[in-house]
Amino acid sequence: MFYNKKIETMAREDLKKLQAERLRKTVERVYNNVPLYRERFDKYGIKPEHIKTVDDLKNLPFTYKTDLRDTYPYGLFAAPMQEVVRIHASSGTTGKQTVVGYTKNDIDVWAECVARAMVSVGGSSEDIVHISYGYGLFTGGLGLHDGATKLGAAVVPVSTGNTARQINIFKDFGSTILCCTPSYAMYLAEAVKESGISPDELKLRIGIFGAEPWTEEMRQEIEKGLGIKAYDIYGLSEVCGPGVACNCYMQNGLHVQEDHFIPEIIDPDTGEVLPEGESGELVFTCITKEALPLIRYRTRDISSLIYEPCECGRTTVRMTKPCGRTDDMLIIRGVNVFPSQVESVLLNIEGVSPHYHITVDRVNNLDTMEVQVEMSPSLFSDSVKVIQEKEKTIKQALLSTLNISVGVKLVSPKTISRSEGKANRVTDNRKDR
Ligand code: DLL
């Protein structure tokens, strides 16, 4: 099933023509309306008329998060404020927040992207869509909300928090689609189990999870725990919010809404576009946005692109599950480590739960990393010797995947804090020095 079959299954040559036409208009728009772009293009000797095809994209300079911060709050807006109908912001852990704006048309396009995503995972107007992403400046809540409304589904705008109430709503309202972060889905699954409810008693059938990296192993845990099919939705506020890309029911890569966003994969160090299929930093160019059309925006997310046709019939390129961000990568004694690698290892070991936390420190000029992971209740009731053996097994498994020796501490069930939004899985004490 498709929400917009014509676009989603368009022949790639036609799609490229459409992208080129929209790219040209967007470049003209930013050149004429955004001083930063005009100055930057002038510096590189680029005039809008030089951009004729999608291949010319690689000649354009990148846009960075710092550009949004430097022009805070509205300096990159390419539409007058009277046309702007919505403002969101991403909190960011350091410095100023990033402010993004939408015209009425931008909101419509965004809602369509989310509606397409919902249909591609099997949703329809008959669904009851339970939204537990945060509402507010974060794009998760309202983004999924507008998309589900456009689809004609019944929206339950629960937002985050009050886990017991969420479960009552599942039961009483008959929610069929759950939208939240994967870490909150994990938490909800645990709470459902504890309340003595079997997933069969609930009507939930689909989960649309994103806003943070999560592994295939985590997907399986959530699917088991809630008795649903779990799908990955990707997006970032700067580009529009959730719905830039989403799994289809094949669960093999995320279809990018390419008629609105052109993806590229680059080498994060050199900025060169990488050959098809290689993994690198994802860069997006918005080609239909009016208020904030960013050109070659450096997402910092690591992924690769799959151009082979998908069995679902969509012709759009798929991005692989983002495994993390270049700025989340830990460098431990010279070795690159992604938290998602740790997650994959842990979830393949019996007796541990999917709740973990990584602490990085520097002791006597040497980096140290300790992984705390909760034991399952049955391991917890085992002897100290069995637990110590398990710690050794995990340490060994981490060594063989990460190529560095890290500390492992098995902790009692329920000692690692649960997250209702994006999980914070790493404490890097080296940053405070
Ligand atoms: O997280 C938008 C969103 C809301 C996406 C709800 C999906 C669902 P920001 O707060 O601006 O926007 O954060 C964007 O989150 O650059 C990625 O690093 C990360 N991210 C988003 N989706 C995924 C995903 C929203 N499916 C940043 N897998 C992005 C991995 C993701 N990382």
Q: What's the pLDDT tens digit per position in 3-59?
A: 999 999 999 999 999 999 999 999 999 999 999 999 999 999 999 999 999 999 999
Q: Mind listing the pLDDT tens digit for each residue in 213-224?
A: 999 999 999 999
Tell me, in angstroms, the distance from the centre of ligand 1 to residue 394's CA: 29
Tell me, in angstroms, the distance from the centre of ligand 1 to residue 198's CA: 30
The CATH class of 1-328 is alpha beta
Nearest CA to ligand 1 atom 4: 140
Decide whether any atom of ligand 1 lies within 6 Å of the 153 Cβ.
Answer: no
Atom of ligand 1 nearest to the CA of 241: 2
Tell me, in angstroms, the distance from the centre of ligand 1 to residue 287's CA: 20
Nearest CA to ligand 1 atom 30: 213
Percent of the chain's residues with pLDDT above 70 = 99
Atom of ligand 1 nearest to the CA of 328: 18
Query: Hey, which of 236, 343, 420 would you mutate to test ligand 1's pocket, going by the most ligand atoms within 8 Å of its Cβ?
Result: 236
- What pLDDT does 91 receive? 75
Q: Mind listing the pLDDT tens digit for each residue in 117-175?
A: 999 999 999 999 999 999 999 999 999 999 999 999 999 999 999 999 999 999 999 99
- Report residue 278 as tokens: 């290689």
Provide the CA 107 distance to its chain's centre, in angstroms. 19
Atom of ligand 1 nearest to the CA of 98: 11
Residues linked to residue 97 through DSSP beta bridges, in sequence order? none
Is residue 432 predicted with pLDDT exceeding 80? Answer: no
- What pLDDT does 327 receive? 87
Query: Hey, which of 139, 209, 281 would you mutate to test ligand 1's pocket, going by the most ligand atoms within 8 Å of its Cβ?
Result: 139
For residue 64, which amino acid is it?
Y
Q: What is the rounded average pLDDT of the residues 292-314?
A: 97
Is residue 174 left, alpha or beta, with left meaning phi > 0 and alpha meaning psi from -120 to 50?
left
Tell me, in angstroms, the distance from the centre of ligand 1 to residue 432's CA: 26
Query: Hey, which of 90, 219, 234 would you mutate to test ligand 1's pocket, going by the most ligand atoms within 8 Å of its Cβ?
Result: 234
Q: Mind listing the pLDDT tens digit for each residue in 399-416?
A: 999 999 999 999 999 999
Tell me, in angstroms, the distance from the centre of ligand 1 to residue 270's CA: 24
Domain residue spans in the chain?
Answer: 1-328, 330-432
Decide whether any atom of ligand 1 lies within 6 Å of the 242 Cβ.
Answer: yes
Pairing of strands 206-210, 229-236: parallel
Is residue 418 predicted with pLDDT exceeding 60? Answer: yes
Contact 140, 168 (CB under 8 A): no
User: Tokens 């910092």 sit at which residue?
Assistant: 300
Q: Rounded to whole angstroms, how far apart are CA atoms 64 and 256?
A: 21
- What pLDDT does 80 receive? 98
CA angle 401, 402, 406 (to 5 degrees): 115
Atom of ligand 1 nearest to the CA of 213: 30
Decide whether any atom of ligand 1 lies within 6 Å of the 236 Cβ.
Answer: yes
Is residue 93 predicted with pLDDT exceeding 60? Answer: no
Nearest CA to ligand 1 atom 10: 90
Decide whether any atom of ligand 1 lies within 6 Å of the 299 Cβ.
Answer: yes
Tell me, in angstroms, the distance from the centre of ligand 1 to residue 389's CA: 37
Tell me, in angstroms, the distance from the centre of ligand 1 to residue 209's CA: 10
Decide whether any atom of ligand 1 lies within 6 Å of the 324 Cβ.
Answer: no
- Under CATH, which architecture does the 330-432 domain have? 2-Layer Sandwich (3.30)
Tell me, in angstroms, the distance from the centre of ligand 1 to residue 344's CA: 19
The candidate with the shortest Cα–Cα distance to 299, out of 245, 218, 357, 230, is: 245
Tell me, in angstroms, the distance from the centre of ligand 1 to residue 234's CA: 5
Nearest CA to ligand 1 atom 13: 236
User: Tokens 């998309």 sit at which residue?
Assistant: 147
Contact 143, 107 (CB under 8 A): no
Mean pLDDT estimate for the chain: 96
Backbone φ, ψ for residue 386 (5° rounding): -60, -40
Tell me, in angstroms, the distance from the centre of ligand 1 to residue 300's CA: 11
Q: Is 287 exposed, middle or buried (0-12, 13-18, 19+ CB in 10 A)?
A: buried
Is residue 95 predicted with pLDDT exceeding 70? Answer: no
Query: Hey, which of 88, 208, 212 would you mutate to test ligand 1's pocket, going by the most ligand atoms within 8 Å of its Cβ?
Result: 212
